[in-house]
Amino acid sequence: MRSVPTWLLTAALLTFFLGPFVWQVLTSLRPEAELTAPGLPRALTLEAYRSVLGGRPFLHVVLNSLVVATATTISCLAVGASAAFALAKLRFPGRSLLLGAALAVSMFPPIATVSPLYLALRAVGLRDTLGGLVVPYATFALPLTLWLLTSYFRQLPDELYRAARVDGCTPFQAFRRVLLPLVLPGLATTGILVFIFSWNEFLYALTFISSPGKRTIPVAISLFAGEHAEPFAEIAAASILATLPLVVLTVLFQRRIVSGLTAGAVKG
């Protein structure tokens, strides 16, 4: 039997985390007339969803977000995994310095980097392109990627790397054929975090993109308000739609994340 305090704490936590989400769902389903009414809605309608998906280029916005977040995640993991492998398993001078420097980069407040980045992106012709979001996103997500993946690689026994080398692998082959498959759970976890970061990012997306056709979800939702009087239901519906892919992604990879793929690598 669970004790009463545990039970209460669980309930409180669930309310804290799920409450706003539930409220959002309810808001998105209320008929327009009831929007500001207190309590549970008396009727439910999908009007807001119809309006979001039909009346605006919302699917196009979702697609933009998907492209940006996917490209960011893939480039981050590609660069991050090879760098993390080198940091964790190879010996070269200055590797702790490198990890420290990566951490320092992630300390810059984004707001302080907006104008220089804007100028830089304009100079290389990436302003107002989706690529112009991928580059800074990947840059800012890389330190976290590096730290997480380095710790995943460190958990793999050194002898696995050595065995692969003695079996004839070059360092890169040892990485690709032996170590990389073993950090797949780590890659999935890290990838989801990077994906969520890019999916939710607002400041750069607002500043660097001017064409409505290239907006990403957070910016598009924030601009609903200017166009309609009180689009609460639609904002709620759009938020729900924007959250769903993340939920699906996390659930899909959950098994990967918790699986102990490395079991049996060494004695035990």
Kindly state whether residue 267 participates in binding other proteins, applying the rule CB under 8 A.
Answer: yes
Can you say how many angstroms the Cα of residue 168 is from the centroid of all Cα atoms in its chain?
37
Please give the structure tokens belonging to residue 18.
């799920």
Contact, 137 vs 203, CB < 8 A?
no
- End-to-end CA distance of the chain: give it in Å, rounded: 34
Dihedral of alpha carbons 39, 40, 45, 51, sign: positive
54 versus 168: smaller Cβ distance to other proteins = 168
C-alpha span between 223 and 212 (Å, rounded) = 10
Which part of the chain contacts other proteins (CB under 8 A), choosing from 100-108, 141-149, 196-204, 255-263? 255-263
Asked if 90 interacts with other proteins (CB under 8 A), we say: no
Q: Per rule CB under 8 A, is residue 67 in the interface with other proteins?
A: no
Mask of contacts with other proteins, 173-212, x by CB under 8 A?
Answer: x---xx--xx------------------------------
How big is the CA angle at 255 (ends 71 and 154), to the nearest 5 degrees? Answer: 70
Rounded to 10°, the helix 184-200/232-258 angle is 170
Let me know: does 154 contact 84? Beta carbons within 8 Å: no
C-beta of 25 vs 184, nearer to other proteins: 184
Nearer to other proteins, 95 or 127 (CB): 95
Contact between 155 and other proteins per CB under 8 A: no
Binding of residue 167 to other proteins (CB under 8 A):
yes
Is residue 168 a contact residue for other proteins (CB under 8 A)?
yes
The count of chain residues that interact with other proteins, using the rule CB under 8 A, is: 25
Residues 6 or more apart from 73 whose CB is under 8 A from it?
Answer: 191, 194, 195, 198
CA distance 219 to 65: 10
Phi/psi for 90 (5° steps) reads -100, 155
259 is a contact residue toward other proteins (CB under 8 A): no
Shortest reach from residue 80's CB to other proteins, in Å? 20
- If the CB atoms of residues 107 and 263 are measured against other proteins, the closer one turns out to be 263
> What residue type is 256 in one-letter code?
R
Instruction: Kindly indicate which of the ranges 70-78, 99-107, 208-216, 258-266 contains the residues binding other proteins, using the contact rule CB under 8 A.
Output: 258-266
Give residue for tokens 């590609």.
Answer: 78
Q: For the CB of residue 186, give the shortest distance to other proteins in the complex, in Å.
A: 13
Stretch that binds other proteins, among 114-122, 194-202, 234-242, 257-265 (CB under 8 A): 257-265
Residue with Cβ nearer other proteins (11 or 266): 266
Residues that bind other proteins (CB under 8 A): 91, 157, 159-160, 162-170, 173, 177-178, 181-182, 261-267
